Amino acid sequence: MSWQDEADEIRRRRQHALAQGGPAGIGRQHEQGRLTVRERVERLLDTGSFREFGRATATPEYGPDGDLQGYSPANYVLGMGRVDGRRVVVGGEDFTLKGGSPNAAGLRKSVYAEHLAVQHRLPLIRLLEGGGGSVRGSGRPGGTVGEPVHTEPRFRIIAEALGQIPVVSAALGAVAGFPAGRLVASHFSVMVRERSQVMAGGPALVERALGRPVTKEELGGHAVHIRSGVVDNLAEDEDDALLQMRRFLSYLPASVWELPPRLSCDDPVDRCEDALLEAVPRNRRQPFDMRRIMKLVVDSDSFFELSRGYGRDQIAALARLAGQPVMLLGNDCKFYAGAMSAAGAQKVRRYIELADTFHLPVVNFVDEPGFMIGPKAEAEGTIRYGMAAVSAAATATVPWASVQVHKTFGVAGAAHYGPDAYLLLWPSAESGALPVEGGVAVAYRKELAAAEDPEALRGQLETELRAGRSPFPRAESFSAHEIIDPRETRPFLCEWVEWIQTRLATLPGPVRFSFRP
Amino acid sequence: MARVEVESEVAGSVWKLVAKPGATLAAGDPILILESMKMEIPVETPVAGRLLELCVTEEDPVEEGQVVAILES
């Protein structure tokens, strides 16, 4: 007697799993312009690298004689595979089955995803689509209610994962409730234009609670959540979303116990770009393009921006210098002069913590006029979030280089300089407690009020004070490591990357204060 | 032909009008320049098209998200 019957049954059940929600469910998914979870996994991973877990996990229906009458696969697909040759854990809801809302078997697999990735110290990729829990089937008399008191909190592993392994998530359809929470509990999240919506609660809940009809797109489309900061990046289609997740992971180690992977670099480390010499206008009223400056300095084609639509006064990007992955931070003076808003401060805090968690050196291109001021900024609590950003910088553990491109003023300026920062000044650098214009109005209020020609006095004072803010006296006083020709920025930073290698090697392991959503 | 509303991304005041109604503009061309936080911030055309209307004049205050011009693309 062999086990041939059982072997046949195993094969049959695997075919059931691959059949997902059947032709109707798959057809519905395609009609709506979306891929199935299995198609997503196939496109995400290196060809043939997927090793699935729990293909036989399902909700079976047995007849009175114990014969299998119906069989619904778990609506969560989970496994390991490779991305650009590096091993990862991947999981995602199967929306062709029961609308992605977890069935019992699917829930077990989805909850296990974080455990699996943490256990093996591998990045976790979540392909999210679907809603959260349902009242259907709950509250029936006679059954057990709630989780046993000895159950480990389900969200602990989600929180702990953020301090141990890279977690990246894509919203690839409507995502609400628990899946929306998972999306946000990530180091990087992405949504697809007009195909994804993200909501704590969907339109039916909103109408019931608030009496207001609203569409999914109005509630949680990209126009809302790329600005709210709930989702980091926007993708044009699903392939773009998968590509952005792969790209994000390429800068990060597999876990906090490793270092970010340094690549070989074809871009000459001594490349000097003439355009940098005139990148900052002499006319202080004219804005300039900080992203262009950053791109001219880092390794060619290595600039990958994060959260561009949120906290737009600040710029955050991953990039490489001499092949070394780095966290780039900086100010965008085209948006309120780059003054740090409540949102901008939260963005800076979050990305400093990302850098700390995964041992990414920080390179900061500074043009900070100070915290945003005015009634709106006060109502948003700017100074509180601002101090969180300053605290994150002040306690950072990673090597840090700051290039003072233009302004550094006020307390907000401190959010751009980590401990022991390598400090380079451009000739356009100016710094102080307050920008000269506002500072003169405050410090010389009485003199200006008494002057015969207040405007002439204001101009004279501003000119005198500005002369004192030239970077040359600071260089003379060794308040920076070097004042440089802007064209020398890349060679200086690439040389610094070599110096920091020994210190980086001491960093692997969890940090004292790691990443939170 | 589509009507495109051009919004200001920042609050400020109109410092200078650059383009005139009827002008043909390429994507990224400046329509007007705002003064915001003591800086001159251009409001640029998001898409190529013909400028139908300027909704503000010089020295007007402008709110974040306010429509300042209408294009035909």
- Minimal CA separation from B10 to chain A, in Å: 7
pLDDT tens readout for residues B29-65: 999 999 999 899 999 999 999 999 999 999 999 999 9
DSSP state of A264: P
What is the rounded CA–CA span in Å between residue A280 and residue A485? 12
Nearest to A193 by CA among A229, A228, A230, A225: A225
In chain B, the percentage of residues whose pLDDT exceeds 70 is: 100
CB A79 within 8 A of CB A41: yes
**Ranges of H-type helices in A99-210:** 104-120, 154-161, 178-184, 203-210
CB A332 within 8 A of CB A300: no
pLDDT tens readout for residues A146-198: 888 888 888 899 999 999 999 999 999 999 998 999 999 999 999 999 999 99
SS3 A489: helix
pLDDT tens readout for residues A285-324: 999 999 999 999 999 999 999 999 999 999 999 999 999 9
Q: Does B40 sit within 8 Å of A337, measured CB to CB?
A: no
Interface test with A, best of B41, B43, B62, B63 (most A CBs within 10 A): B41
What is the rounded CA–CA span in Å between residue B14 and residue B12? 7
Which residues in chain A have their CB less than 8 angstroms from residue B40's CB? 285-287
pLDDT tens readout for residues A1-13: 899 999 999 998 8
Residue owning tokens 């100074």: A383
CA distances from A471 to A21, A333, A427, A461, A466 (A): 66, 20, 6, 19, 10
Nearest to A14 by CA among A48, A45, A58: A58
Residue owning tokens 């994000």: A248
Which residues in chain B have their CB less than 8 angstroms from residue A437's CB? 38
In the prediction, which pLDDT does A341 show? 97
Q: Which residues contact A170 (CB under 8 A, 6 or more apart)?
A: A125, A126, A127, A128, A183, A189, A190, A191, A192, A235, A238, A241, A242, A245
Q: How confident is the model at residue A230 (pLDDT cuts 50, 70, 90)?
A: very high
Nearest to A489 by CA among A477, A479, A497: A497
Q: Which of A312, A335, A437 sits opposite B38 (nearest CB)?
A: A437
The CATH number corresponding to A4-134+155-250 among 3.90.226.10, 3.40.710.10, 1.10.1060.10, 3.40.50.300 equals 3.90.226.10
Mean pLDDT for the stretch of residues A41-52: 97
**ipTM score of the complex?**
0.87
CA distances from A210 to A91, A124, A207, A225 (A): 34, 36, 5, 20
- The secondary structure of A321-380 as a DSSP string is ETTEEEEEEEE-TTTGGG-B-HHHHHHHHHHHHHHHHHTPPEEEEEEE--B--SHHHHHT
Kindly indicate whether the domain formed by B3-72 is annotated with CATH number 3.40.50.1240: no
Mean pLDDT for the stretch of residues A88-106: 83
What is the rounded CA–CA span in Å between residue A270 and residue A489? 9
What is the rounded CA–CA span in Å between residue A131 and residue A181? 11
- Domains A4-134+155-250 and A274-504 belong to one CATH topology: yes
Q: How confident is the model at residue A130 (pLDDT cuts 50, 70, 90)?
A: confident
Q: Which overall architecture, per CATH, does domain A274-504 show?
A: Alpha-Beta Complex (3.90)
Q: Where are the domains of chain A?
A: 4-134+155-250, 274-504
Enter the tokens of residue B25.
């503009």
Q: Does B37 sit within 8 Å of A336, measured CB to CB?
A: yes
Interface test with B, best of A285, A290, A380 (most B CBs within 10 A): A285
In the prediction, which pLDDT does A136 show? 62
Q: Does B37 sit within 8 Å of A369, measured CB to CB?
A: yes
**Ranges of H-type helices in A20-66:** 22-31, 37-44
In the prediction, which pLDDT does A1 show? 82
- Average model confidence (pLDDT) across chain A: 93
Mean pLDDT for the stretch of residues A400-406: 98
Say if B62 is an interface residue toward chain A (CB within 8 Å): no
CA-nearest residue to B38 within chain A is: A285
CA-nearest residue to B33 within chain A is: A286
> Taking the model in full, what pTM does it have?
0.93
